[in-house]
């Protein structure tokens, strides 16, 4: 018998995909069923990681080199895992996270050109066996996402070519044969339909009744 799937769900995708709204919708749906849920985000999710987040999302688009960004993000991730995610999972909570390690591969690997094998090795070192049980990848055309985004953070200010590369990256990651469980969500449709897609994917992965 295979090991039970970790109750650790990650939402991924480009800018303006509506992930934050759907994180809350899923958390509310699970809580309505009596489940104990912890929502969190990356970069951030713990006091130390939130301090690093401030460094990453503010300032000009060229503030950091790709390698410096990747190291900062993984430092934040290590603290987030140690102080928030792993303790919550140990308590039996569901953990729903807005972004995780696939974003690092998409943004700093595909988007900024860092060596992907190095990023994968860094992921394995930091994440260890605390991999998501399910990753939901929100897909929508770049122009739609950027039209929804506020353009208040560094990544939203980066050029169209970067965001085109991001969408292609997440589509490629979704097809990966690395054994990690990923489902693509059509994020173009209305909020309620996206929520239905999300819950259907979660119900299928975890054996919940719709």
Domains recognised in the chain with CATH numbers: 8-206 (3.40.50.300)
Given pLDDT bands bounded at 50, 70 and 90, which one contains residue 146? low
pLDDT at 156: 65
**Comparing 49 with 61, which gets the higher pLDDT?**
49
Task: Determine if the peptide bond prior to 112 is cis (ω within 30°).
Answer: no
For the stretch 175-191, pLDDT in tens is 998 989 999 999 999 99
For the beta sheet containing 37-41, the strands, ordered from the edge strand earlier in sequence to the opposite edge, are 37-41, 94-98, 8-13, 134-139, 182-186
Q: What percent of the chain has pLDDT over 70?
A: 91
pTM (two decimals): 0.91
Range 150-164 burial, b when 16+ CB lie within 10 A, else e: eeebbbbebeeebbe
Report the helix count and the strand count for the chain, using DSSP H and E: 9, 5
pLDDT at 159: 73
Asked whether residue 23 carries a pLDDT value surpassing 50, the answer given is yes
For the residues 32-39, what does the mean pLDDT come to?
Answer: 97
108: tokens are: 């700093």
For the residues 108-112, what does the mean pLDDT come to?
Answer: 94
Asked whether residue 107 carries a pLDDT value surpassing 60, the answer given is yes
Sign of the dihedral through C-alpha 47, 48, 49, 51: positive
Q: What percent of the chain has pLDDT over 90?
A: 77
């Amino acid at each position: 018998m295979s090991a039970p799937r970790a109750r650790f769900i990650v939402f991924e995708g480009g800018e303006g995909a509506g992930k934050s709204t759907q994180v809350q919708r899923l958390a509310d749906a699970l809580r309505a069923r009596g489940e104990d849920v912890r929502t969190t985000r990356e970069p951030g999710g713990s006091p130390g990681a939130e301090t690093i987040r401030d460094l990453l999302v503010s300032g000009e688009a060229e503030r950091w080199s790709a390698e410096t960004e990747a190291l900062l993000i993984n430092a934040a991730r290590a603290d987030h895992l140690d102080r928030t995610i792993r303790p919550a999972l140990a308590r039996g909570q569901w953990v729903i996270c807005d972004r995780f390690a696939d974003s690092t591969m998409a943004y700093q690997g595909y988007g900024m050109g860092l060596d992907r094998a190095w990023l994968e090795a860094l992921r394995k070192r930091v994440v260890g066996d605390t991999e998501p049980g399910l990753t939901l990848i929100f897909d929508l055309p770049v122009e739609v996402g950027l039209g929804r985004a506020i353009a208040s953070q560094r990544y939203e200010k980066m050029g169209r070519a970067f965001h085109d590369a991001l969408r292609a990256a997440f589509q490629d990651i979704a097809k990966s044969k690395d054994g990690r469980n990923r489902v693509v969500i059509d994020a173009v449709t209305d909020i309620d339909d996206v929520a239905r897609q999300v819950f259907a994917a979660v119900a299928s992965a975890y054996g919940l009744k719709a």
